[in-house]
Structure 1
């Protein structure tokens, strides 16, 4: 009986309260009410490609627009070969052909929201990974118009998670608010985490558990994630995302 009372209490504390408090905070922010009025310009997080001689790989994530920013981030991948005069950005969008190349600035704001750097690799290590990243982009399955689904996926985060699973040397986890990262079309999944450093069980990405050195410990319910990270100590909470180092 005591355990039966504990489960709804934990659900309230770990999922509902964080989500409601973040929604309250989010409502106080000034935001563009239309994508045409939003700021999509470079956040100046990357140097000009012309003055960056070495190969680089970056994964970025930024809050999505309007009320959906309460819940979710949008993520994308950026590469630049050694000596290249421009960055190449890969991400997935919800209109037209999903996979886009250089749809926005490499380090552009998303609906006015500043990107955060998920991971960065430079030099020879980046040069070795870039062909595999490009191959992973080409192998993404959901490329036809209409295949994008904001929830539970496949979406932009499903795409970046696919790339990171194909190139586990990226060795980082997407934010817990990257809804769609755990999407599984084939239903029940049990196996290794995308980083290959732990195990994961998932039902269509709607419910599941992840335990890994890179991913940390995550409990997923309807795309909302609660948990913690041991590698870089932090809490993971719905709405707020990762809170820690």
Structure 2
């Protein structure tokens, strides 16, 4: 038991506290009202390129919560069309379509682009993205729980699992990505290359080509990335070596 507690302390609590300290030392908007939600300018104007496009994006969330978590969303663009952004939020009808600029900042934080597809590759996957959004089981009023989920990251993780052709997972700091309803304890990817075990998002384990090896506790992740050598720490995310 002492060894287990030491492992939890070193792998989860110490990095989380360090990330909180770094966050507290920086400057952040006082509230969502004073935060910058405008376009970050990372995506081209929709009319400047007729091709279809598909993006998965994340950005640090606000306050001290941002020390440990990011918010994620999906952006699509059909050929000769405009951008469509899909988010899940914690108020009203949770699934928002174009509630914010496609590449908008989140609580003043610039987004990172996890994947960017264009042309036929994007056009082929957009219908599957739309189907996964439409069939998301936690899309009604009240179907948002900050922790352990279902939250914004649980929503995007659902879409990614249902469109495995994207070949990505959300980063380890996407708290809520490993949420599953109790009873769905085991998730095996269609190609059998990724296995996840989840106790309702409170604790879990993952191994595979997407995840490497991950220990999950309270939405935080400690792990080793094998395909792209690196270590995953709570709050800091993946650190490549």
Q: What TM-score results when the alignment is normalised by the length of structure 2? A: 0.95
Q: How many angstroms apart in 2 are the aligned matches of 1:188 and 1:222?
A: 17
> Mean alpha-carbon deviation: is it higher for 89-98 or for 170-179?
170-179
1:67 paired residue number? 64
**Structure 1 residue 5: Cα displacement:** 4.0
Q: How many residues align?
A: 241
**Structure 1 residue 187: Cα displacement:** 3.5
What pairs with 1:106-145 in structure 2 (closer than 5 Å)? 106-145=102-141
Q: How many angstroms apart in 2 are the aligned matches of 1:146 and 1:105?
A: 24
Tell me the secondary structure at the aligned position of residue 14 of structure 1.
helix
Q: What TM-score results when the alignment is normalised by the length of structure 1? A: 0.94
Q: How many angstroms apart in 1 are the aligned matches of 2:186 and 2:146?
A: 23
**Structure 1 residue 196: Cα displacement:** 5.1
From 74, 81, 89, give the equivalent of 1:77.
74
Is the 1:182–1:202 contact (alpha carbons within 8 Å) kept by the matching residues of 2?
Answer: yes
From 171, 176, 184, give the equivalent of 2:172.
176
Where structure 2 has 5 or more consecutive residues not aligned to the other structure, the ranges are none
**Structure 1 residue 10: Cα displacement:** 2.1
Moved over 6 A (4+): none
Q: Encode CA deviations 1:195-240: one digit per residue, 9 max, x unaligned.
A: 8521111111111110010122111111111102122222111111
Is the 1:218–1:228 contact (alpha carbons within 8 Å) kept by the matching residues of 2?
Answer: yes
Alignment of 1:10 with 2:15, yes or no, is: no
Where structure 1 has 5 or more consecutive residues not aligned to the other structure, the ranges are none
Alignment of 1:233 with 2:229, yes or no, is: yes
Q: How many angstroms apart in 2 are the aligned matches of 1:139 and 1:149?
A: 19
Q: How many angstroms apart in 2 are the aligned matches of 1:64 and 1:148?
A: 16
CA RMSD of aligned residues (A): 1.5
